Amino acid sequence: GRARPSHSEPRGRDGRGEQEEMEGWHQLYPGHIPTSPLQKALLAAGSAVMALYDPYRHDMVAVLGETTGCLALPSLRDKMKNHPEGYRILQERPRIRLSTLDMARLQGLPDGSLGREYVRFLEDNKVSPDTRMPPKFVDDEELAYVIRRYREVHDLMHTLLGMPTNMLGEVVVKWFEAIQTGLPMCVLGAAFGPARLSTRKLQVLATELVPWAVRSGLNASCVLNVYYEQRWEQPVESLREELGIFPPP
C-alpha cells in the first residue's frame, strides 16, 4: 500500500517527507527501487556491457532484463491473463524455491517425469532455484511477478529442451526464450553468446541447434502458461508434445 510519512519526518513543499521524495512515494513490492527512464537507460547500458563481458554475471543479466522489458513484459502478462492456466498462476503466484519444493518426492518420481528430470538437471549442473535474483527495477507489481516467474522456470526450460548450463546450452535456451518472450535480454544473449564458442560448436549451433530452437520457439505455446508445480508427474516427452516443442536433435 501507500507509504505513510512519519510526523517526525521533515516535510517537503508538497507535504511529503524528504526521505520519501528520494526513495519514491510507493514501494510496489519488497525490494522495489523506483527509477526514472534515464536511470533505467543507464542501468541497461551498464548491465549490457557487463553481461557481454561476463555472461555468467547473473545479477547484470537480471538488471538488463528488468530495465529493457517494458514492452515484452506486458505482452507476456496479457498472454497469461488470456490463458486459463496462466491466469491461475497470476492469481495464485506460485514460487519455485527450495522451500516450496518437496525434493525427496521429486527424486522419487519415475525417470522421465518432469519432476525427476528437473531435480536431475539441478544435481548434474550443481545449480539451485534459490540463486535467481528478485526483481528490483520493474515499476509494476504484477509485471515484477511475471519476470520473477520467467526466471524461476528458466531451469525448467533447460530440462524441457535437454540443454546443460554450459555456454552452448545457455545460447540455445536463449534463442528459444527470445522467440517465446521477446525480452531484449534474451535476444542479446542469443545474438552475442556464440562469440565465446569454438568453431566446432558454432557449426553445430548454426546447422542443428539454432534452427531447432527457433522452430520450437515459434511452434510452442507460451511456456509461462504451464503450472509446472502441478505437472511434476507428467513425462517430459508428453509435456514437450503438449507445448509443441520438437524433440532435441
Q: How many residues does the chain have?
A: 249
pLDDT at 56: 72
Is the separation of the CB atoms in 233 and 117 below 8 Å? no
Average pLDDT on 220-246 reads: 98
pLDDT higher than 90, residue 156: yes
Give 31-45 pLDDT, tens digit per residue.
999 999 999 999 999
In whole angstroms, give the CA distance from residue 188 to residue 178: 9
Q: Of 30-39, 52-61, 184-193, 229-238, give the range with the top mean pLDDT.
A: 229-238
**Distances, alpha carbon 7 to alpha carbons 3, 17, 22, 25, 26, in Å:** 13, 9, 17, 16, 18
Give the angle 93-222-239 at the CA atoms, nearest 5°: 90
Q: Which three cell numbers stand for residue 42?
A: 543507464
pLDDT band at 50 (very low <50, low <70, confident <90, very high): confident
pLDDT at 104 over 70: yes
Rg (CA), the chain: 20
Cα distance between residue 229 and residue 226, in whole Å: 9
Q: Kindly report, residue by residue over 65-90, the tens digit of the pLDDT.
A: 888 999 999 999 999 999 999 999 99
Which of 27-31, 70-74, 231-235 has the least mean pLDDT?
27-31
- pLDDT (0 to 100) of residue 154: 96
